Amino acid sequence: MNSNTAATMEKTNQNESIAVVKRAIISVSDKTGLVDFAQHLAALGVEIYSTGGTSRHLSEAGIEVRDVSDYTEFPEMMDGRVKTLHPKIFGGILCRRDNPEDLTSVETHGMVPLDLVVVNLYPFAETVARPDCDRSMAIENIDIGGPSLVRAAAKNNAFVTIATSPKQYDAIVEELKTHGGTSETLRRQLMADAFRHTAEYDQMIANFFAASETETVSHLPSTVSLELHRTAELRYGENSHQAAALYEFSDEPVTSLSKMNQRNGKELSFNNLLDVNSGLNMVSSFHDPACVVIKHNNPCGAATGTQLRDVVSRAFQGDPISAFGSIVAINRNMDLDTAQLLATGDYFIEAIVCTGFDEEALRVLTTEPKWKKNVRLLESPMVSEVADRYDMRLVHGGMLVQQADDLRVSPADWTLATSEPISDALMAELTFAWNMVRFVKSNAIVLGKNQALCGVGAGQMSRVDAVRISIEKAGEQAAGSVLASDAFFPFPDSIEIASQAGIAAIIQPGGSVKDKDVIAACEQHGIPMMLTGRRHFLH
């Protein structure tokens, strides 16, 4: 057998096999750190084979490279669609170094074993994110040869090392310097990463074309594939006996919670992240400055207006008792005046998420409040309308999937059901309340006044109980407030209670068989009622 035919298999002191690397094939889209990596390989005597743009990139850096076309004696063709798909490439990768028949085939057909495969794939996700990307552009950015090389090398990991990310280069170089090859442990880790890489890539392609085609009348795909990466291990879940972690979708936008910039405070908990997510959804629905105070995924206070300090102050007045230990979400940068309000007031805040912190505001919040060391200060962009296109809930044996409830407030579509007119000022209050009630757990009732929440009844089994709780929470503020209900009133009893509390106007979807009775009760008590025709259950 020719000495060039097979890569040598050696053993470490721990009796672990080492695959010596004599030759590498490199073909990458992401060239981060590539020149430095290739220089290390060349210095260690590794012969490098490469293609197209990668070959030029390395050659321009003064690294000796053998072109794949010269080795295969077959030119690249079809605009690069066919370049590595050749038996001399795949035979060199897939040959089993301990199989005599494989080694004979390698010699007979003039192949050489390829011991290290360095490949990452066409930037499909980046391409389809471009506003000018059409179907043909997306198709041209589907990698064929790359995934094939990756899978071949990963399959033959007993002898071949596969690198699919620049983050892996240092570990490979370190082992090459130490052992002259790679350990079995590293190769197996890289194999798992490689198959994960190609699976994620295929999923991105499938998801893109599934979203672009109408597969069903409901516009939901016939198959849903999920690929998530763990980005953080959490101390525990909702309760201390539950393990928990944060995962991120592979194609998640910049509004992913894992991409938030934490400027201060303790590690985020599972419950913190749930509340931060809810808060971002709520404040992102407002164009004017807005603040929401969150407890257990429900708003216990919210307000909008023109001056941020005033908005935040009014948000906390909604339910000061429940606001203790809350999460605060703001759709603007935290300024000095607002920071001073929070630092000097009688507040206890677990976390604040906003678009950014002015430097003086950051100084105040990290030096003045009693809770300064622990409060999590988080910077995040606001959530776009498409950030949560689907809502997914795990159930036994599967998953429920629905389109996200991103229906925006549209007063032009509402109907005045009573003869009592509604002023422009009252309509503005109803608009605010209707926007907020869709974020409250059902059955849900909210009371709004002066563009702020003053009472919330959340998660009740009966709507009339939700009405009673919201009025009790509001106290004296209930008089003159407006009431929003996430779904219809099944009976007029809620209207009677609202009348006794001095509710000025009501907004609800309508659609009950008792609508006539409910509207009649509003007429009797002189309460104008708007019907939206859309409900907003949130379970």
- Give tens-digit pLDDT for 133-184: 777 777 777 777 788 899 899 999 988 999 999 999 999 999 999 888 899 8
* CATH T-level topology, domain 262-404: Cytidine Deaminase; domain 2 (3.40.140)
Whether the Cβ atoms of residue 181 and residue 18 lie closer than 8 Å to each other: yes
Answer whether residue 252 shows pLDDT above 50.
Answer: yes
216 Cβ contact list (under 8 Å, min separation 6): 222
Catalytic residues: 155, 296
Give pLDDT tens digits for 355-414. Answer: 999 999 999 999 999 999 999 999 999 887 545 567 888 889 888 888 888 777 888 889
The residue ranking higher by pLDDT, 143 or 331, is: 331
Closest to 361 (Cα-Cα) out of 275, 263, 273: 263
Furthest-apart CA atoms within the chain: distance in Å = 101
pLDDT given for residue 298 in this prediction = 94
- Joined together, the tokens standing for residue 111 give 């192949």
- The upper half-sphere exposure of residue 189, i.e. CA atoms within 13 Å in the direction of its Cβ, equals 10
Strands 453-457 and 445-448 come out as antiparallel
Averaged over 493-498, what is the pLDDT? 96
Instruction: Give the three-class secondary structure for 39.
Output: helix
pLDDT given for residue 407 in this prediction = 77
**Per-residue b or e along 456-472, where b marks 16 or more CB atoms closer than 10 Å to that residue's CB:** bbbbbeebbebbbbbbe
Measured torsion, CA atoms of residues 305, 309, 311, 315, in degrees rounded to the nearest 10: 180
pLDDT given for residue 225 in this prediction = 72
CATH 3.40.50.1380, the chain: domain bounds: 9-212
d(CA 453, CA 316): 9
φ/ψ of 363, rounded to 5, equals -60, -45
d(CA 298, CA 456): 9
Averaged over 245-259, what is the pLDDT? 77
Answer whether residue 343 shows pLDDT above 60.
Answer: yes
Give pLDDT tens digits for 227-241. Answer: 788 888 999 999 999
Q: How confident is the prediction for the chain on average, in pLDDT? A: 87
Give pLDDT tens digits for 10-56. Answer: 554 456 788 888 898 998 888 889 999 999 999 998 999 988 788 88
Given pLDDT bands bounded at 50, 70 and 90, which one contains residue 96?
A: confident
Given pLDDT bands bounded at 50, 70 and 90, which one contains residue 428?
A: very high
Answer whether residue 268 shows pLDDT above 70.
Answer: yes
Averaged over 76-87, what is the pLDDT? 68
Query: How many residues appear in the chain?
Result: 539
Averaged over 511-537, what is the pLDDT? 94
Given pLDDT bands bounded at 50, 70 and 90, which one contains residue 253?
A: low
pLDDT given for residue 220 in this prediction = 72
Of these ranges, 144-158, 246-260, 427-441, the one predicted with the greatest mean pLDDT is 427-441
Closest to 478 (Cα-Cα) out of 506, 444, 503, 507: 503
Closest to 414 (Cα-Cα) out of 532, 534, 512, 529: 532
Averaged over 260-289, what is the pLDDT? 93
Check residue 45 and give left, alpha or beta (phi > 0: left; psi -120 to 50: alpha). Answer: left
- CATH number of this structure's domain 9-212: 3.40.50.1380
pLDDT given for residue 2 in this prediction = 39
CATH of 411-531, one of 3.40.1080.10, 3.30.365.10, 3.80.30.20, 3.40.140.20: 3.40.140.20
Averaged over 99-110, what is the pLDDT? 83
Give pLDDT tens digits for 292-315. Answer: 999 999 999 999 999 999 999 999
Residue 451 DSSP code? S
Answer whether residue 3 shows pLDDT above 60.
Answer: no
Q: Which residue has the tokens 């897939």?
A: 94
Residue 36 DSSP code? H
CATH 3.40.140.20, the chain: domain bounds: 262-404, 411-531
Sheet containing 298-304: which strands, arranged edge to edge?
A: 261-264, 376-379, 349-354, 326-330, 290-295, 298-304
Averaged over 332-345, what is the pLDDT? 94
d(CA 101, CA 105): 6
